[in-house]
Amino acid sequence: MHFRSLIAFLSWSLLASSDAQEIKDGQFPVISNLRAGVAKIDITPPDAAATKIVGHVRQVTGVRDPLHAGVLILDDGETKAAIVTLDTIGAWEDMVRDARSRIETETGVPAANILVAASHNHSGPGYVENMRWAADLINKLGTAAKQAVSAMKPVSIGYGEDRISFGINRRKTYDGRAVVSLNPDGPNDPRVKVLRFDDGTSLTPMSVIMHAVCHPCFFTWGDKGSQPYPKGYPKMSADFPGEAQSFVEMCYAQKTSVMFLQGCAGDIRPNLPGYPYRCADEADIQWAGRDLGGAVARATAFSVTREQMRKRETFYQIRVASEVVELPGKEGPVNAELMALKIGPYLLLTMPGEPMVEFGFQLEKAIADRATPIIVGYANGNIGYIATAAAHKVGGYEPNRSILNPEAEKVIIKQLGSLADRVVGDVFESFSKHPKDMQKRESEEKARLNAAPAPKP
């Protein structure tokens, strides 16, 4: 065990043996080996009118609300990792590679241990379409990473759940054929999962990560009935994830940094009826932002009550496993990076595209008794729609647009299960002290850390 790890463990053991578990006047002792630092930055392009909007491509004339990126650095005394969130439609491969390289340089966090996730915002810029903005984005991420690592403190993690009301399935099947239609009876996941990171100095968290499942496409193109915006909302926006983050930060007087992780939202969108749906207006985005923001604020506040505080872990081990797998595609194999990031009892499993909501249910069912699962889409790459094999049978927008074959589902589920085994640590091969098993694990981890691609010249 490294010297710093030993000191952290002894300090944790001493604190854990004490009875200092109660909150007193808004402060509480942090009994933890985990250190964390966070920073958020404004990544809004300086000239919105000259910016290429991707997702729902359209010309915009200004900015409704700013776009942000967040960087959370984590260190358990032995392993460092980072979570990066962006108000963009995708975590494109070029962007992920460049961001990882810059953050590794600034912080020492291995590139392979950096999770880069997009909210899937349909009202923001593209990376390759706006190269000057892209270069500025990477510089800003480097600055934020330096700020985060310079402000690291011991933290403990609270967890809570709540619900939202604005998401709805957008697929209906008629006579064996799927069409685009709002379907209140279709599969949906209205749960909101919340991690709060506390340094114990007050009841204001150092950082909050929210996880929800819905396309951020309130400001869609719309239809002829979508007055006054039949061609889409004419301004750049971070959509409902941005509105919700701002709402929660407002609740804590701008003294916390809130980040957003998107779930398996491939077939889940805002419930805005129309032909087939309409563009949102100001009332709609306030509804969604405050619905999600209120759910997050409730879960965040509840998770620091006395009874919930007693449930917190005191030792948070960071374990990371990732692999680039070859998925069967319609025009040949498709490479996709899958990742498992475990922070104490919390397990993040990621996919590089738009998984349909059923993927989240399948993965949670397989892992829920072994860890607290948080299934993340739109992370560490962008291969487009990831449809279930069942969806391929009836067709429709998502499977028809997907570059994958139906068989990809089994490969993804199996490989994420294997990565989960490696980080949860309850499979014999993952904790065996037999020299051959230890040598194999060390060799695999060395290869993984060295496999992160270098930035393009």
Digit-coded pLDDT (tens) for 331-390: 999 999 999 999 999 999 999 999 999 999 999 999 989 999 999 999 999 999 999 999
Q: Are 264 and 377 contacting, i.e. CB atoms less than 8 angstroms apart?
A: yes
DSSP state of 455: P
Whether the pLDDT of residue 138 is over 70: the answer is: yes
pLDDT score of 450? 82
- Side-chain half-sphere exposure of 11, counting CA atoms within 13 A: 14
Higher pLDDT, 239 or 3: 239
Cα distance between residue 57 and residue 166, in whole Å: 23
pLDDT score of 26? 80
Residue 13 banded pLDDT, cuts 50, 70, 90: low
User: Pick from 373, 356, 362, 392: which is nearest to 215 by CA?
Assistant: 356
* 287-310 tens-digit pLDDT: 999 999 999 999 999 999 999 999
Higher pLDDT, 366 or 3: 366
Rounded average pLDDT over 399-411: 98
pLDDT score of 361? 97
* 256-265 tens-digit pLDDT: 999 999 999 9
pLDDT score of 156? 98
Residues 6+ apart with CB under 8 A from 170: 180, 181, 182, 183, 186, 267, 268, 269, 276, 277, 397
Starting at the edge strand that comes first in sequence, how are the strands of the sheet with 156-163 ordered?
A: 156-163, 191-198, 207-212, 257-262
User: Pick from 312, 85, 273: which is nearest to 181 by CA?
Assistant: 273
pLDDT score of 18? 43
Higher pLDDT, 178 or 442: 178
Comparing 19-23, 135-139, 275-279, 450-454, the range with the smallest average pLDDT is 19-23
Rounded mean pLDDT of the chain? 92
How is residue 13 written in tokens? 């053991």
- 3-class DSSP string for 221-238: CCCCCCCCCCCCCCEECC
Comparing 8-22, 275-289, 389-403, the range with the smallest average pLDDT is 8-22
pLDDT score of 167? 98
**H/E element holding 350?**
strand 346-350
pLDDT score of 8? 52
* 43-78 tens-digit pLDDT: 999 999 999 999 889 989 999 999 999 999 999 999
- The reported pTM is 0.92
The phi and psi torsions of 214 (rounded to 5 degrees) equal -175, 140
How is residue 376 written in tokens? 């993340």
Residue 91 banded pLDDT, cuts 50, 70, 90: very high
Residues 6+ apart with CB under 8 A from 429: 421, 437, 440, 441
DSSP state of 50: G
Comparing 16-30, 175-189, 361-375, the range with the smallest average pLDDT is 16-30
Comparing 14-18, 150-154, 345-349, the range with the smallest average pLDDT is 14-18
Q: Where are the domains of the chain?
A: 23-450
